Protein backbone atom coordinates (compact mmCIF):
# COMPACT_ATOMS: atom_id res chain seq x y z
CA UNK A 1 0.00 0.00 0.00
CA UNK A 2 1.32 3.47 -0.88
CA UNK A 3 1.01 6.47 1.42
CA UNK A 4 -1.85 7.88 -0.66
CA UNK A 5 -4.04 4.77 -0.79
CA UNK A 6 -5.42 5.33 2.72
CA UNK A 7 -6.02 9.10 2.43
CA UNK A 8 -9.03 10.71 4.04
CA UNK A 9 -10.22 14.28 4.31
CA UNK A 10 -8.08 16.04 6.89
CA UNK A 11 -4.84 14.25 6.00
CA UNK A 12 -1.96 16.75 6.22
CA UNK A 13 0.86 16.73 3.67
CA UNK A 14 4.42 16.89 5.03
CA UNK A 15 5.25 20.60 5.44
CA UNK A 16 7.88 22.16 3.19
CA UNK A 17 9.95 24.91 4.81
CA UNK A 18 12.41 26.73 2.58
CA UNK A 19 15.29 28.99 3.55
CA UNK A 20 14.68 32.74 3.74
CA UNK A 21 14.41 34.33 0.29
CA UNK A 22 17.76 35.88 -0.55
CA UNK A 23 18.66 38.38 -3.23
CA UNK A 24 20.63 35.58 -4.90
CA UNK A 25 17.51 33.39 -4.98
CA UNK A 26 15.59 36.22 -6.64
CA UNK A 27 18.32 36.77 -9.24
CA UNK A 28 18.58 33.06 -10.01
CA UNK A 29 14.80 32.68 -10.28
CA UNK A 30 14.63 35.72 -12.59
CA UNK A 31 17.15 34.03 -14.88
CA UNK A 32 15.46 30.64 -14.73
CA UNK A 33 11.94 31.97 -15.26
CA UNK A 34 12.72 34.78 -17.68
CA UNK A 35 10.90 37.23 -15.39
CA UNK A 36 13.39 40.07 -15.15
CA UNK A 37 10.99 42.64 -13.72
CA UNK A 38 13.34 45.01 -11.86
CA UNK A 39 11.08 45.22 -8.78
CA UNK A 40 12.28 41.70 -7.95
CA UNK A 41 16.03 42.36 -8.22
CA UNK A 42 16.70 46.12 -8.11
CA UNK A 43 16.12 47.89 -4.78
CA UNK A 44 15.93 51.32 -6.43
CA UNK A 45 13.27 50.12 -8.88
CA UNK A 46 11.28 48.55 -6.03
CA UNK A 47 11.45 51.76 -3.99
CA UNK A 48 10.39 53.87 -6.97
CA UNK A 49 7.33 51.59 -7.20
CA UNK A 50 6.50 52.37 -3.56
CA UNK A 51 7.88 49.17 -2.04
CA UNK A 52 10.41 49.16 0.81
CA UNK A 53 12.67 46.69 -1.03
CA UNK A 54 12.63 43.95 -3.64
CA UNK A 55 10.25 41.03 -3.16
CA UNK A 56 9.85 37.52 -4.47
CA UNK A 57 8.16 36.58 -7.71
CA UNK A 58 4.73 35.12 -7.05
CA UNK A 59 5.64 32.25 -9.32
CA UNK A 60 8.55 31.37 -7.01
CA UNK A 61 6.07 30.65 -4.23
CA UNK A 62 3.96 28.70 -6.71
CA UNK A 63 7.04 26.65 -7.57
CA UNK A 64 7.62 25.90 -3.90
CA UNK A 65 4.03 24.63 -3.63
CA UNK A 66 4.69 22.50 -6.70
CA UNK A 67 7.68 21.04 -4.88
CA UNK A 68 5.48 20.32 -1.85
CA UNK A 69 3.15 18.35 -4.11
CA UNK A 70 5.83 16.45 -6.02
CA UNK A 71 7.65 15.59 -2.80
CA UNK A 72 4.39 13.87 -1.83
CA UNK A 73 3.25 12.25 -5.10
CA UNK A 74 4.95 11.76 -8.48
CA UNK A 75 4.32 14.58 -10.95
CA UNK A 76 2.34 12.33 -13.28
CA UNK A 77 -0.37 12.03 -10.60
CA UNK A 78 -1.17 15.76 -10.67
CA UNK A 79 -4.51 16.34 -12.38
CA UNK A 80 -4.93 20.06 -11.68
CA UNK A 81 -3.14 22.80 -9.81
CA UNK A 82 -4.22 26.40 -9.30
CA UNK A 83 -3.26 29.22 -6.97
CA UNK A 84 -4.29 32.69 -5.89
CA UNK A 85 -1.66 35.26 -4.99
CA UNK A 86 -2.66 36.88 -1.68
CA UNK A 87 0.36 38.91 -0.49
CA UNK A 88 3.98 39.58 -1.38
CA UNK A 89 6.94 37.66 -0.01
CA UNK A 90 9.58 40.20 1.00
CA UNK A 91 13.27 39.56 0.54
CA UNK A 92 14.43 37.58 3.60
CA UNK A 93 10.89 36.26 4.17
CA UNK A 94 10.80 32.54 4.96
CA UNK A 95 7.94 30.68 3.24
CA UNK A 96 6.40 27.53 4.65
CA UNK A 97 4.21 25.44 2.36
CA UNK A 98 1.35 23.33 3.67
CA UNK A 99 -1.36 21.12 2.25
CA UNK A 100 -4.40 19.34 3.59
CA UNK A 101 -6.68 16.84 1.86
CA UNK A 102 -10.22 18.21 1.77
CA UNK A 103 -11.93 15.45 -0.20
CA UNK A 104 -11.31 12.04 -1.73
CA UNK A 105 -13.54 11.09 -4.65
CA UNK A 106 -13.73 8.74 -7.60
CA UNK A 107 -13.61 10.52 -10.97
CA UNK A 108 -13.67 8.65 -14.28
CA UNK A 109 -12.73 5.43 -12.48
CA UNK A 110 -9.77 7.05 -10.74
CA UNK A 111 -9.49 7.79 -7.01
CA UNK A 112 -8.52 11.44 -6.57
CA UNK A 113 -7.74 13.67 -3.62
CA UNK A 114 -8.44 17.40 -3.55
CA UNK A 115 -5.74 19.22 -1.61
CA UNK A 116 -6.01 22.71 -0.12
CA UNK A 117 -2.64 24.49 -0.34
CA UNK A 118 -1.08 27.54 1.31
CA UNK A 119 2.19 29.39 1.63
CA UNK A 120 2.70 31.44 4.80
CA UNK A 121 5.50 33.52 6.26
CA UNK A 122 6.85 33.25 9.80
CA UNK A 123 4.60 36.12 10.96
CA UNK A 124 1.53 34.22 9.73
CA UNK A 125 0.97 36.22 6.54
CA UNK A 126 -0.53 33.93 3.90
CA UNK A 127 1.04 34.82 0.58
CA UNK A 128 -0.50 32.15 -1.65
CA UNK A 129 -3.50 29.85 -1.47
CA UNK A 130 -4.42 27.14 -3.88
CA UNK A 131 -5.83 23.77 -4.67
CA UNK A 132 -4.58 20.68 -6.40
CA UNK A 133 -6.21 17.43 -7.45
CA UNK A 134 -4.02 14.32 -7.44
CA UNK A 135 -4.61 10.71 -8.37
CA UNK A 136 -4.10 8.65 -5.24
CA UNK A 137 -3.17 5.33 -6.88
> Tell me, what's the pLDDT at 3?
59
> Tell me, what's the pLDDT at 4?
63
Helices (H) and strands (E) in the chain, counts: 3, 5
pLDDT surpasses 50 at 64: yes
Region 33-52: mean pLDDT is 96
Mark out the alpha helices in the chain (DSSP H runs). Answer: 23-33, 43-48, 58-72
- Between 58-72 and 23-33, two packed helices, what is the crossing angle to 10 degrees? 80
> Tell me, what's the pLDDT at 102?
98
Residue 88 has phi, psi (to 5 degrees) of -80, 155
pLDDT surpasses 80 at 28: yes
Average pLDDT, the chain: 95
> Tell me, what's the pLDDT at 137?
77
Amino acid sequence: MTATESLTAGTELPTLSVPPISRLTLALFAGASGDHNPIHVDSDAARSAGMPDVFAHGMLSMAYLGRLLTNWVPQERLRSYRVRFAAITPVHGQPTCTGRVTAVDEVDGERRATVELAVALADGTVTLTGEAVVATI
